Amino acid sequence: FDKSIAANNFQRLPEFQRNNFGGSFGGPIRKDKTFFYGVFEGIRQRLGITTIDNVLPAACHTANNIVDNQACLGATTAGTTAVVPVIQPILALIPSPNLPGNQYTFPFTQPSTDNYGQMRVDQTLSSKDNMFVRYTIQNTTQTQPTSFPQFWANAASRNQFLTLSENRIFSPALLNTFRTSFSRTNLNWVLGN
């Protein structure tokens, strides 16, 4: 579907850039009792998106708002039609085709950002008891194309998870794990222009 045309600077394939980075750290807080461990990962991405849409023929875009019935409307008989004034502003938003077959394409670079982090603290209570608490957070944003370049949508999400776990060894054959967790997800979708 990718075509080398003026609309995309005569590039055959859309550009794609992805940077993935992160790190981790950890260590003891109290010797042989309390430990912590944290991680972070980030992604910065710019993805070239190919969008091809069907649009009205170029003959539908005229300066005097009089269109040819055959070229614009596909009528079988010759003649002209005046574009109704209320439709003229809407028609101005629809681009003229820049591909054969009344199709339209435009270059779009989709930016995405993703930040992921996690922190965990482990506590040894006794030789038979230990517990941990873990917090995870992930923030993601992405701008998405729609059918025409003047419109776009922003998507953003934030996920948070908190976990508390306790292990108890009763005997060499019996282990009990208690775990509770709180999860929160927030998704926000905004259309813009």
CA distance 74 to 121: 70
Residue 151's pLDDT band, with cuts at 50, 70 and 90, is confident
Phi first, then psi: what are they for 180, rounded to 5°?
Answer: -135, 150
Question: What pLDDT is stored for residue 150 in this prediction?
Answer: 79
Distances in Å between the Cα of 173 and the Cα atoms of 124, 168, 169 are 20, 12, 9
- Cα 74 to Cα 80: distance, rounded to the nearest angstrom: 11
The pLDDT score that the predictor gives to residue 43 is 97
Nearest Cα neighbor of 45 from 109, 107, 2 is 109
Tell me which residue of 51, 28, 36, 26 sits closest to 110, measured CA to CA: 51
| Chain segment 94-129, per-residue pLDDT in tens | 888 888 888 888 888 889 999 999 999 999 999 899
Which residue bears the tokens 């912590």? 36
pLDDT score of 193 more than 80: no
Q: Which residue has the tokens 């009990």?
A: 176
Q: Do the beta carbons of residue 47 and residue 109 sit within 8 Å?
A: yes
% of the chain surpassing 70 pLDDT = 92
Q: How confident is the model at residue 190 (pLDDT cuts 50, 70, 90)?
A: confident
Please give the backbone phi and psi of residue 72, each rounded to the nearest 5 degrees, phi first: -95, -50
> What is the per-residue pLDDT across 46-80, written as a single tens digit (0 to 9) for each?
998 888 888 888 888 887 888 888 888 777 888 88
Give 9's pLDDT tier (boundaries 50, 70, 90): low
**Residues 6 or more apart in contact with residue 173 via CB below 8 angstroms:** none
Give the SS3 label for residue 125: coil
pTM metric for this prediction: 0.73
Among 134, 123, 124, 122, which Cα is nearest to 162's? 134
